[in-house]
Structure formats: structure tokens, C-alpha cells
Amino acid sequence: MTDTTLGQPSGAALAEPTLAALIDPWLQHMRWRADFADWRHKRLRSEEFQTEALAMITEVAGSLAGRQVLDLGCGMGGFAVAAELAGADVTALDYNPAYCAITAVRGDQYGLHMPVMRAAGEALPLPSAAYDIVTAWDVIEHVQQPAPMLAEIGRVLRPGGFVFITAINRFAFRDPHYHLPLINYLPRPLAEFLIAGVGRSKRATAFRDRQRLSEMHYYTYVGFERLAAQYGLTTRDLDAERVLRGDLAPKRQARRTILQVLERLGLTLPLYRVYRALYQGTYRLVLVKDRSNG
């Protein structure tokens, strides 16, 4: 994997209070987290925590230097800034104007001249076949209409280009948004009743635009694969590829021993598929546009 060393923000000591003032209101609904202080720090300096995402992209697509990258649903701009610092020519785009402002301030800290645009993923104000790489981290579950968004991604992506995207498992054992076990196995009204009962309902916050669980889009792996294929995008499961390469290194010796036995028996990939279907929270995927699909 490739590591990336970030430059120091210019005038960071002066800029960070402004960034904190912009970000903090968007974090208050998560104060129930036991690790809130550490989680907040990672939001404030999120460009410094993108090593894994950058390495995942370079392993598949090669160097980012000089590549045209669209960060769709850029959120608070951590990945967009990190990719720009790694040499990419990044366009950052988000529907939330507050997130666009945060991303612009984050880029300004490093003296970047990165375009930041406000638009919906379902109607991108961008030319066709303009990007080598599109990223959409934690986005598709939140958009109003996922299918048009995938169609738009396919349109702006060059043939042979890559989409790095995450999607939430419809049967995630622990929900990635509410951090509660088993709620995805329940009917949505009952799940939302339980979420409200433990005080984690986002509707209880001042931000009325936050979605209920029933308003978000979760997928089975096969269901998402079929959806992407409708728009000329072939799905690759990056975690499955790690399993096939044997690129797994549990920290505990007992788990390493179990993994070695499973590998010898040829069971790692079948068991991973069971894990993906019934436990995994977030799929980490790359979609590839057919070179013949202009």
C-alpha cells in the first residue's frame, strides 16, 4: 500500500477555529458516542486520515497524479483535499451548502484552488466523459434517487474509468448510521421505534433534513451489483479481492491460526460471502465503466 504525507496547512492555527465553528453544529447529534472527542478530532482534521482510501484507489487505478477526480458527495472535504494534495485534479461536489463551505475552508488552509460545487448527484452540472475517477463515499444511501445518480456517474466517467463507492448492507448486523445491532433484521417502523427509544433518532435534532432509517437506501450485494450493471458499470468487491489475495492479517494469533486453517481448506471466500450477506456493514466497491461504453 502507498502512504501519503500531507503538507502542513498554511496558517492552520488561525484557520482551524473557523473550521471548527463550521463543523461543530453538524456533529451534535452524535454526542452519544463514547469516542465523541476522538471522532470529532477526525472530522476536524479528516484530510489527515485518508491514507487507507488513497491506498485503495492507487492499488486499483494507479497514481492519482494528474488524474481528473470527482468527489461526489464530498461531505466535509477530507478526501477531496487529501486527493488534491496527492496530485489529483479534484472537483468537490455536495448537495449541502454547509458542507461545501467546510470543504472550501479546508482547501484554503492548504492554499488549494480546488473547485467546490453545490449540486445533486442525480443531475450533475458537469460535462460527459470528463473524469478518470469518481468517488462516492457514504453517499448513495442518502440521495433521493440512487438510479439516476448512477446514470449520471456513468455519463461523466470516461470509458475504462473507475468509481470508488460504498454501499450499506441491507442486513448489516450493526447499523453503520445508528450503531445498533440487529435493527436491519426488523421491519423499518419497529427499528425506528427502537432507535427513538434509545435516544439516537436524528429527527430529534435541530437538523430536520436528516433522514430516518426507512428513508435511506440499503442493498444486498447482488441487488446493488444488478443496479450498477444497468448503467454499464461492472462491480468489484474490494474486500473479496483482499480475501482472494490472502491479504488479511488479524492482530490476534488465535484468529491468524484459524484463518490459516480456513485458507488451506479453501473456505475463506465462501465464508466471506456469508459474512458479506449477513453481517458486513458497508460494502467497499469499485465500479468499472466498459471501455466500449462512451
> Could you give the domains of the chain?
12-289 (3.40.50.150)
**Percentage of the chain lying above the pLDDT 70 cut:** 90
Sequence-distant (6+) residues with CB within 8 A of 223 are: 170
Nearest 10 degrees: Cα torsion 171, 151, 145, 49: 60
What is the SS3 assignment for 275?
helix
pLDDT tens-digit readout, 237-288: 999 999 988 887 777 888 778 888 888 899 999 999 999 999 999 999 999 9
Contact 224, 235 (CB under 8 A): yes
pLDDT number for residue 3: 37
Q: Is the pLDDT of residue 64 over 60?
A: yes
pLDDT tens-digit readout, 163-205: 999 999 999 999 999 999 999 999 999 999 999 998 887 654 4
Taking residues 99-118, report their average pLDDT: 96
pTM of the model: 0.89
pLDDT number for residue 72: 98
pLDDT number for residue 123: 97
Average pLDDT in the chain: 90
Q: How far is CA 283 from CA 62, 119, 238, in A?
A: 21, 25, 8
Nearest-angstrom CA–CA distance, 258 and 252? 10
pLDDT number for residue 80: 98
Q: Is the pLDDT of residue 293 over 60?
A: yes
Structure-model confidence comparison of residues 217 and 245, the more confident one: 217
Sequence-distant (6+) residues with CB within 8 A of 68 are: 88, 89, 91, 130, 131, 132, 133
Read off the C-alpha cell for 65. Answer: 497524479
pLDDT number for residue 9: 53
pLDDT tens-digit readout, 16-61: 568 999 999 999 888 888 999 999 999 999 999 999 999 999 999 9
DSSP string, 90-136: EEEEES-HHHHHHHHHHHHHTT----EEE--TTS--S-TT-EEEEEE
Return left, alpha or beta for 234; rule: phi > 0 is left, psi -120 to 50 is alpha, else beta.
Answer: beta
